[in-house]
Every structure is written in C-alpha cells, then in structure tokens.
Chain A
Amino acid sequence: MSATTATATLTNGPGAAAVLAAGIGSFALGLFAVLAEKITTLKSWTNFYNPTGPLSGVTTMAVIVWLAAWAILNLRWRGREVRLVLVSRIALALLAVGMLLTIPPIADLF
C-alpha cells in the first residue's frame, strides 16, 4: 500500500484515542493531586522519590494512567470512525476539570 493511500484512509479513531487519553491523563493528575493531599496513606504511598515527595508519585501515576489509556483506546479504535464531537467534548471537559483541581483553593474544597 502506498503512503498516499495509507494517509487517505486514515480514520479518526487514533486521533480520538490520543485526545481522550490526554484528557484522562490531565484529569488523573488533578485527581491524584487532591487525593494525595487529603488521604495520609496515599500521601506517603505516592512518595516515590523522597527529595521530591508526593509530587513524584502523583505525576508518575498520572503519566502511567495517560499512557495506559492511550494504548488501550488506540487498540480499540484503530481503523475505526468514532463520534469525535462527543469524544472531544469529554476530553476537553476532563482537561478543564483536571486543570481546576490543581488550583489550591479549589482542591481545598474537598
């Protein structure tokens, strides 16, 4: 198959998987940051690297969730057309919530 044909038939599945996974990763970052601050056990568990403290575990876990979600969604949606408008809305909502959860006064509400 030529490169031209391959790109011409590219479905929206892989792109949708990438944006949704980025949304999930961003949300996971905000969620883990809040949970690590509120739950003492989680705070000490996320202390992967002592000089950096819980930040090391929170960010490592968020990156793992992001990459795992990307790999799984890409496997499921590769070569498929998905409802991109819906997927994009969910991804952007997750991104927005993830960003909001990193703001200290908002995180303190929980």
Chain B
Amino acid sequence: MEITTRSLWTLIHGMGFGALYLMACSGALVELYRRYCTHNSVEPSSRDETFLRVYLAVMAGLAWLAVVTGSYIIYPWYRAKPPAGTANLAVYPRYLLLSSPTTSGWHNMGMEWKEYIAWIVPIAITMAAVVVMQYGRRLKDHPQLRNTILCFVWASLLSAGIAGFFGAMLNKNAPVEGGDTIHLVQGESK
C-alpha cells in the first residue's frame, strides 16, 4: 500500500482541512443560533463561551489552511504545463481534462469556480470568529448582527461545499499524481 506525496497533500487539503471545516460548519450554525437567539433566556456560561470562541478560531484556522495549501501547494501541480510533445498527460491534470470534450467542463466550470469561491470561506469565518470573540454573550443584544453573522457562516458553508464537491470530482477525473512514493504497508502478492 503506497501513496505519492502529491496525493498525500491532496488528502490533507481535502479530507483534512476541507472536510473537517464542512463538518464543523453545522455545529457553528446551531451554536450561534441557539446561544444568542433573543428568546433563549438561559445565559451561556463563560466556559460555553470560551468553547465557542475556540471552536470558531479553529474553524478559521482550518479555512485558511485549506485555501493556502490548495492555492500554493496543490494548484501549481494541477496547472503545470506539460513539455511540448508530451503524450501521457496523467501528471498534468489541467491539460488532461482539457484534452477531451467530455472532461473539459470539470476544469472550465469546476476548477475556475472552485479556485475563487473557496476564498470566501476564510474571510467569512474569520469575521464571524472575531465578532464572537469581541461580543460574546452581548451578541444577544444585537440580533441583527447575529443574523448577519449567521448568513455569512451559511455562505461559507455553501462556498466550502461547492469547492469540496468540485475538488472531489476533479480528483476523480484527473487526480493530482506524482512526486515521491511513500510506502505505507508492505503487502503480500498471491
């Protein structure tokens, strides 16, 4: 059982940072709604507040790690230009996709959309984390502010979902491969 370094980075980016962010998003939405809605008479404890602050800060960290690894580690491998006359495009995913009309849409629509919309995520969640850190339980006194933050977190979930969907489909149609091979488990041949 083995994996290439490029595949490993793709896993860290998508399954590590991206998928973890998507899973965390529903928790953030529920907690932001439940704790700071005006008809909730129970005051959140300072421990609960600290938990939500750390939770949102970790989400912001995940979002930044996802876009930075995606844009500066994986994307350069994805868009690398093959030398003239290269017949096997397996390690040039962008050109592999564009070489066939049945797959070109994954680049022209999928990657072109994903590469930009993903950057909405860290902007939205960093803002939400900072406002929650700043206001804490006082967010209850500013329902409009809380609702706007909820909308931004929803937008970040949508953006991360679009980026995650196209990331998975791009990797299915033209995986980012190459680099050193890491042997994970020594198998037995029959």
Contacts and interface: CB of A to CB of B under 8 A. Distances in A.
Interface of A: 7-8, 10, 12, 14-16, 18-19, 21-22, 25-26, 29-30, 33, 49, 51-53, 55-56, 58-59, 62-63, 66, 70, 84-85, 88, 91-92, 95, 98-99, 102-105
18 contacts: A15-B134, A18-B131, A22-B123, A25-B123, A29-B116, A59-B67, A66-B123, A84-B144, A84-B145, A84-B148, A88-B145, A92-B151, A99-B158, A99-B159, A102-B113, A102-B117, A104-B108, A105-B109
A67 to B, nearest CB: 10
B127 interface: yes
Rank and list the top 5 A-B pairs by shortest CB-CB distance, nearest first.
A51-B76, A22-B127, A102-B116, A88-B148, A102-B117
Interface in B156-190: 158-159
Contact of A15 (B80, B123, B135, B155): B135
A85 B136 CA distance: 20
Interface string B56-88: 000000000001000110011001100000000
B124 A22 contact: yes
A19 B71 contact: no
Interface in B89-140: 108-109, 112-113, 115-117, 119-120, 123-124, 127, 130-131, 134-138
Looking at chain B's contact residues, the main secondary structure is helix
B151 A21 contact: no
B130 A55 contact: no
A105 B108 CA distance: 10
B113 A59 contact: no
A55 B75 contact: yes
A7 B71 contact: no
Given A10-B138, A53-B79, 5 more contacts: A22-B124, A22-B152, A29-B119, A52-B72, A98-B120
A88 B147 contact: yes
B142 interface: yes
A63 B149 CA distance: 19
A15 B127 CA distance: 9
A16 B147 CA distance: 12
A62 B142 contact: no
A30 B144 contact: no
Contacts of B159: 99
A8 B137 CA distance: 10
B75 A52 contact: yes
B93 to A, nearest CB: 14
B148 A29 contact: no
A62 to B, nearest CB: 7
Contact of A21 (B76, B127, B147): B127
